[in-house]
Amino acid sequence: MSTTIDPLFTSDVAQLTALREQRFGATLDRVFAAHPYYRRKFVELGLSRGDVHGLAGLRKLPITTKADYVAEPDAFVLSAAGAADDAETVVWDIMYTTGSSGKPTPFVSTAYDFVNILALNRNMMRLRGVTTADTILNLFPLTRYPHGAFARAMNAAAAMNIPVVAALPGHANERQPEIGSRLDEVVAIAVRSRATILWGVPTFIRKMAMRAEELGARLPAVRLVFVAGEGFGDAARKDLEDRLRRLGAPAPFISVSYGATEM
């Protein structure tokens, strides 16, 4: 039997365990060599690389809270010292964590990180039932701080090589008032795009569906709804499903996700 491990498709537990051990070990090598925050923490704890043996050694590592990260985000950017190549140090983009716990905090993704984000998005889309025949309507607003929601919806479409239409609800910059769409415009964009997937914050998607009903609009192509950023209980889910059915969607399926920028 071949010993080659395909990280995407193997279901062999032993192979997956070996792959996890291998990747965790490589991560630890980088962290001990080049991560400013953890290098300092490990010195404080008296931990060396040889003290942590595989996944079983996870319990030895310190728990990091969001408050720890927010206090010094620059200390969580890998230095060039332990990088395998430029991909681990080149800044690809900067997203901001949620402001619910204070001022939004920057989080750097490198070129290496971004390729992995694309892979994660692709696999997540497959799990949610997305196909190459789908089109996404991105209903996240364009915000002052670049949060993951708006950009990552666009990235997820790229990872699947499918079309995405950004409705740009709201107006992020008063100096460019023509950039952004009011609610009726968003409904018109939804109709025009013939999107099969609606993706956004659940309260706004519900608001859009309500306005679409008032305008007599039809959204028969919608089959999937991806919601994030808020709690979304069973009653709210049923209400949205019923509204979409009245708009012509024969069997809308709602998928709820929760994301953390810094993870």
**CA–CA distances in Å: residue 36 to residues 33, 41, 43, 52, 155:** 9, 9, 11, 18, 29
Pairing of strands 91-96, 106-110: antiparallel
Rounded Cα–Cα distance for residues 13 and 17 (Å) = 6
CA distances (Å), origin 97, targets 33, 66, 70, 169, 235:
26, 10, 9, 21, 29
**Separation of alpha carbons 255 and 42, rounded Å:** 40
Query: Which stretches of 81-154 are assigned E, i.e. beta strand?
Result: 91-96, 106-110, 136-138
* Mean pLDDT across 70-76: 91
Amino acid sitting at position 8: L
149 or 185: which leads in pLDDT: 185
Confidence (pLDDT) at 216 = 96
Percent of the chain whose pLDDT exceeds 70: 91
82 pLDDT more than 70: no
Mean of the per-residue pLDDT values for the chain? 89
Gap between the terminal Cα atoms of the chain = 36
Higher pLDDT, 216 or 10: 216
With contact defined as beta carbons under 8 Å apart, do 120 and 109 qualify? no
> Both tokens of residue 156?
């997820």
pLDDT value for 145: 84
Q: What is the pLDDT of residue 28?
A: 93
Q: In the structure encoding, which two tokens stand for residue 162, read together?
A: 């499918």
Distance CA 255, CA 237 (A): 9
What is the structure's pLDDT at 89?
84
pLDDT of 10: 61
Question: In terms of DSSP H, where are the helices of 35-137?
Answer: 36-45, 66-71, 111-127
Note the helical H segments in 46-110: 66-71
Does the pLDDT of residue 4 top 70, yes or no? no
Q: How far is CA 147 from CA 32, 96, 140, in A?
A: 29, 5, 10
Mean pLDDT for 109-131 is 93
Residues pairing with 95 in the sheet: 107
Window from 50-54, 126-130, 195-199, 256-260 with minimum mean pLDDT: 256-260
pLDDT of residue 1: 39
Contact predicate 249/220, CB 8 Å: yes
- Domains and their CATH numbers in the chain: 13-109 (no CATH), 116-257 (3.40.50.980)
Nearest of 94, 137, 148, 124 to residue 252 by alpha carbon: 137
CA–CA–CA angle 221, 154, 68 (5° rounding): 130
pLDDT score at 55: 92
| Pairwise CA distance, residues 262 & 105, whole Å | 10
Is the model's pLDDT at 263 over the cut of 90?
Answer: no
What local confidence, expressed as pLDDT, does residue 172 receive? 67
Phi first, then psi: give them for residue 256, nearest 5 degrees: -105, 135
Distance CA 177, CA 184 (A): 16
Taking only the tens place, the pLDDT of each residue in 16-43 is 899 999 999 999 998 999 899 999 999 9
How wide is the angle at C-alpha 41 spanned by C-alphas 36 and 44, nearest 5°?
130
